[in-house]
Structure 1
């Protein structure tokens, strides 16, 4: 068992920083109000992975998604986000709107055998209510036979970001975690956060690292025999929900500004959106001391 510092792990990825943008297979920027009002979010790569709005549970106005002008200020063209309002109704039943690809969207069938990078820019409410929104999903794949998602980005009941996947051979399921970013019931002082899951191979094997605002922040790592993602016949890609109780649920409550999926591991220098260094010094301090443990 060896311990590697975050600096060493980050340097292992710098060699692939120059990969061409053609490897971006899906990119949703959520910045068109006209598209949102038409019930969709376009895949700006032109690869045909457009998203379409869906209702989960009984969607009354308080659970409906909304277009928002609130977005992360970047040098890129991004004029908005989608505010998701998932939660629980008076009977404690889950409700919310989410987006989903069509069955024939190319991203659904990809297994990413050569690695991947999944990036999300998101923001939560002023207070994270884990009693209502625990395990809410930002991005997920459906559908594994037992009802679990073969891949999901979610917010845990403790306020961590979790990336959980099943490998392309459908044999290994693992999760990688951030530190606690949102203490349940306490004021949330964080604005938009960029999170990335990077699946790559080095001399020790295959791994998945999680980056928070460009800092390597994995609390756990996925073991060396885990590469790629499982894909299931007729499986779909969801934004704003994940698999729960053998169906779609755990609807997101917060803002999603950008999601990008790349079919190789990329370095932080190629991440879509990174805040100015001074704007996330607290996160940096929290992640700087983390180490990674590999078998």
Structure 2
């Protein structure tokens, strides 16, 4: 019986304390997908799936702009390719998982961590090489590297020809779209893939890179100075026992000192070789975290059953979620699993299923800082159908009070200019210029409205009585866009139900018989959540039809868009459609020909609440705009 802490290549030093991030997750839909792949049982050697089966699978090209993508990691498979004992089925199942889930997981790349085989023999590499043709045929990017069992472990990357190099050398990998290059000896390679809107580099290093190999790796990083790097190699860190924090091996410390610590682009390292699974974090020379992970399951049932790690990068949440599963066992769940197999479908221990918080923008700022988006000229925002466009940038000092005679021009050229409305008893600086703005806002400035009640106080803007916008009914559709931000002291008791933008005139006066006749005919308001409410009376309905957003965080800039295509109205926040969009048919907007208000809400035709917060650019078009044409795009 194998010891669960067995280490095949010599004794280990003592480990240190544990550091973990727990995560509980599930694998959905994999059983059916894997079963559909025709996977064999544990006791049998597998035949490869038919060529046409792979070719009939839907397009699995990863979405390069999705902020979420998956890196798949496959550790030591050596016990499955051990002399006369060849079991390709588990590896085939894991590779089939990549094909079957390439789209829904947005799988960008696979990295094998070495010790592909037990003895490095041609007869062992043959079946494994054949299995990887599944990925070759679909041109799915992957990297492999030599572990100590794949070559003569006493040699470095200058060892010359080997069956490993024949099976997985550059001659094969250069046919893949992700292959970047290799050392002249062929044992060190690098790979590039695009995901989450940027380029990523995987550096796959040999079991023992020579000084020339390390110099080459340094050169690769230097040639890609703004690219985040994931370093994969067979040996780097280890742990003595479950729960221990990972520590450097002697060779791992050499790699850290010679390559990793001095290259801030390397933010994650992955290695196999030792078990149990473990991880740690070390500060590099720039003072930034490098996450060092070991994953290896060859000591577990069925040689690890070709378990894979799913590193789910989520740049929207600044998190990497990690999950460890066996697609091969899961794919046979319908056949009735034995007791050991049931334990191995998914590993949920703290070193196998966890999340790593990582602020990607901050972590990469030292070598790839995000360049703030510059202002865009007003003319660029005048898309066809624009009927009003207001912005608040210019040469005004930050925090300066707005002039009582303030006039904000309508940059669309249609004459819908804004002027400041009177609020008796309010301070002169209740309306102030601000340099604050949404990062994707065309105009780099805003107006701060310091309003609320009781008593009613603040400032607002309004269109002129004869502005063309006042009488528009928008029968062919409309898009109303605004940038806004609520301050930290926004309070529902004092500030709820103020409007970002509203239209004067009551429902009753407009002949609308359903609902409260004192409500305005159209308003984009802030509820007590605070959440956004678009409540407007269409031409074809007897009262208001309301769209609701989720609650908005204070201290954050938001972009909101209300889009009507002549049939239905849809509310978007930051380009994302919200849930509470009614299916009610809505055409046009009711009007009494009265002015529009910015930062003010009327009830019964009288000012009732004034905005507390910032408003940036506002644009109104008389047609439905796609998300790609929003001002924030």
Q: What range is the shorter-chain TM-score in?
A: 0.7 to 0.9
Q: Which residue of 2 aligns with 1:17?
A: none
Alpha-carbon contact 2:422-2:459 (below 8 Å) kept? yes
Equivalent-residue separation in structure 1 for 2:434 and 2:447 (angstroms): 6
Deviates more, 1:25-34 or 1:134-143: 25-34
Equivalent-residue separation in structure 1 for 2:447 and 2:490 (angstroms): 18
Length, aligned pairs only: 238
Equivalent-residue separation in structure 2 for 1:237 and 1:222 (angstroms): 26
Gaps of 5+ in 2: 1-381, 510-516
- Structure 1 or 2, whichever has the larger Rg, is 2
Alpha-carbon contact 2:490-2:612 (below 8 Å) kept? no
Structure 1 position 109, deviation (Å): 0.5
Equivalent-residue separation in structure 2 for 1:150 and 1:83 (angstroms): 25
Equivalent-residue separation in structure 2 for 1:222 and 1:251 (angstroms): 30
Q: Which residue of 2 aligns with 1:161?
A: 532
The alignment status of 1:49 with 2:416, answered yes or no, reads yes
Q: Which residue of 2 aligns with 1:69?
A: 435
> What is the CA RMSD across the aligned residues, in angstroms?
2.1
Equivalent-residue separation in structure 1 for 2:471 and 2:395 (angstroms): 29
* 1:55-99 alpha-carbon deviations (Å, 9 max, x no partner): 23421356x1001111123373x13110000012xxx22111100
The alignment status of 1:139 with 2:477, answered yes or no, reads no
Which SS does the other structure have where 2:447 is aligned?
Answer: strand
Which SS does the other structure have where 1:46 is aligned?
Answer: coil
Equivalent-residue separation in structure 1 for 2:441 and 2:494 (angstroms): 35
Q: Which residue of 2 aligns with 1:148?
A: 519
Q: Which residue of 2 aligns with 1:228?
A: 588
The alignment status of 1:212 with 2:577, answered yes or no, reads no
* 1:122-174 alpha-carbon deviations (Å, 9 max, x no partner): 00001430000010111000112243211101100121100000112563311
Match of 1:193 among 528, 548, 558: 558
Change (3 A) 1:27 1:222: farther
Alpha-carbon contact 1:57-1:93 (below 8 Å) kept? no
Q: Which residue of 2 aligns with 1:87?
A: 452
* 1:23-63 alpha-carbon deviations (Å, 9 max, x no partner): 0100111213569535121111111000000123421356x
Structure 1 position 181, deviation (Å): 1.8
Equivalent-residue separation in structure 2 for 1:114 and 1:248 (angstroms): 30
Equivalent-residue separation in structure 2 for 1:268 and 1:253 (angstroms): 28
Equivalent-residue separation in structure 2 for 1:94 and 1:227 (angstroms): 34
Q: Which residue of 1 aligns with 2:154?
A: none
Which SS does the other structure have where 2:616 is aligned?
Answer: strand
Which SS does the other structure have where 2:469 is aligned?
Answer: helix
Equivalent-residue separation in structure 1 for 2:582 and 2:485 (angstroms): 24
Match of 1:248 among 587, 600, 607: 607
Which aligned runs of 4 or more in structure 1 are off by greater than 4 angstroms?
A: 33-36
Equivalent-residue separation in structure 2 for 1:33 and 1:55 (angstroms): 24
TM-score when normalising by structure 2: 0.36
Equivalent-residue separation in structure 1 for 2:613 and 2:620 (angstroms): 20
Structure number with greater CO (CA < 8 Å, separation at least 6) is 1
Alpha-carbon contact 1:209-1:218 (below 8 Å) kept? no
